[in-house]
Amino acid sequence: MRYHNITKDDMRNGDGLRVVLWVAGCNHCCRECQNPITWDPAGGLPFDDAAKQEIFEQLDKDYISGVTLSGGDPLYPGNRIDVRKLCAELKEKYPEKTIWLYTGDRWESVREDPVMKYVDVLVDGEFHREEKDVKLLWKGSRNQRVIDVQETLRSADPDIPVIHCPDYYV
């Protein structure tokens, strides 16, 4: 897996203050994507132990709520195994911290992916320029959903995602 950046004290990509890993690789290539530089899976830097340690150092801080995986797309086929391993390690080391994951895929196509047992919140769906709304909370277009993954997996019908939050900033 490769990555472009690790953002610290981020307030825009999930609930609370977060550390964000921006991975490389995306096959959705949404028109007017906020981060097209991350599409190339060969771009950025190799995700190595130093990068992982940088994330851990942030998560060691009490005021950091958790980690967000974005990009690119953490569920790009070339990222899935490494992302799952990272999420498993994060949940083991920091069980009280939340893991948010942004993907252009829909919940219905990823809900059985093994990484979902570690993800707390999934923001799903491609960015649609024609549905862009800058007042949306934690997402860029109205078609995207902010899903409480663990609540959805525990629900009577895990095909129907449990929405995590209201749509708009107040």
Does residue 60 lie in a domain region?
yes
For residue 128, being part of any structural domain is answered with yes
Has residue 167 been placed in a domain? no
User: Looking at residue 43, what is its pLDDT?
Assistant: 96
Tens of each residue's pLDDT in the chain, 170 residues = 999 999 999 999 999 999 999 999 999 988 888 888 999 999 999 999 999 999 999 999 999 999 999 999 999 999 999 999 999 999 999 999 999 999 999 999 999 999 999 999 999 999 999 999 888 889 988 899 999 999 999 998 888 888 877 665 54
| pLDDT score, position 166 | 64
In a domain, 51, yes or no: yes
CATH of the domain at 61: 3.20.20.70
- Residue 55 lies inside a defined structural domain of this protein: yes
Q: Is residue 84 part of a domain?
A: yes
H-helix segments, 30-115: 49-59, 80-93, 107-110
Q: What is the pLDDT of residue 170?
A: 42
Q: How many domains in the chain?
A: 1
The pLDDT score that the predictor gives to residue 27 is: 94
Has residue 104 been placed in a domain? yes
Please give the residue range of the domain that contains residue 125.
Answer: 2-154
Q: What is the enclosing helix (H) or strand (E) of 3?
A: strand 2-10
Question: Residue 158 to residues 19, 77, 82, 150, 163: CA-CA distances in angstroms?
Answer: 28, 23, 25, 10, 12
pLDDT tens digits along 51-64: 999 999 999 999 99
Asked if the structure places residue 124 within a domain, the reply is yes
| Tokens read off for 154 | 């525990």
